[in-house]
Structure 1
C-alpha cells in the first residue's frame, strides 16, 4: 500500500520524530537506572568509553562520543569533582588534555554492570532484536553522516 504524498507531512510519518521520541523515552529509563550510580546519561557514556579504552586525550574521547570539547568539558569537570576521573595536561603538548578514570571511577564499573541488562529488559526486545536494531541504527547513522556535506 502506498502512502499518499500529503500523509508524508504527518508527524506520525516522520522517522526523525520516532527516533527522537525513542531517545527521550530511553533518557527517562536511564535517568531512573543511573540515579543509584550518581551519573547522568552523558556522564555514563563518558565512563563507558573510559572503562573500555582507559586513558584518552579529550579530543579522542569526544570523537568516540560524537561530542565537541565545549560539550565534553563541563561533563568532565563534574566527573572530576565527583572523583571519578582525573584530567591532566600533556607534558608534550600543553594544548592536549588527557583523561582517565580514578580508582573510584574504575570501581563504579562493577556497580554499572547491571545497567545494560536493565535497559534491555525495559525495551521488551530479545537480544537478537536489540542487535538487529543497533545494526540498522548504525547503518542509518553512517548514511546520514555521508549525506551531510
Structure 2
C-alpha cells in the first residue's frame, strides 16, 4: 500500500508532466529532452563562434583603416632629404671634353658635381633633356635648364 504523501507526490508529478507536454504542444515547442538540449547548445555555441569571428574581422578592418590613415598622414609630411633638395639652385653646366660638371648653390655654398657620379653626402646630379635631376637616398628633384646655356 502506498502512503498518502507518496500518492500526492505521484499525482503532482504526473499533472506537471501532462501540463508541460500540453503547453509545449500548444506553443509548438518540443518537450525538453537531452537530444534537443544538445542541439540547442550546439547552435548557441556556433552562434557564439560566428559572433566572435565577426568581431575579429571588424577589429582587423579597423586596424587596417587606422594603418592606412597613418600612412596618409606620413605621406603629407615631406622628408628631411626632400626639404633639403628644394634648397639647391642650378648655377650652370660646364662641359670640358667628355666631362660635364654641374654647378649648384646651397645657401652660400657652391657645389660642383660630375654628371652621374655621386658627390658629397651621396648627392648625384644627372643631366637629362631639359633638366638636371638631383638625387639623394632615393629622393629627387628636377631643376630646369634655362635655354641659352
The TM-score, its normalising length taken from structure 2, stands at 0.24
Select the structure of larger CA radius of gyration: 2
Answer 1 or 2: which has greater strand percent.
2
The TM-score, its normalising length taken from structure 1, stands at 0.24
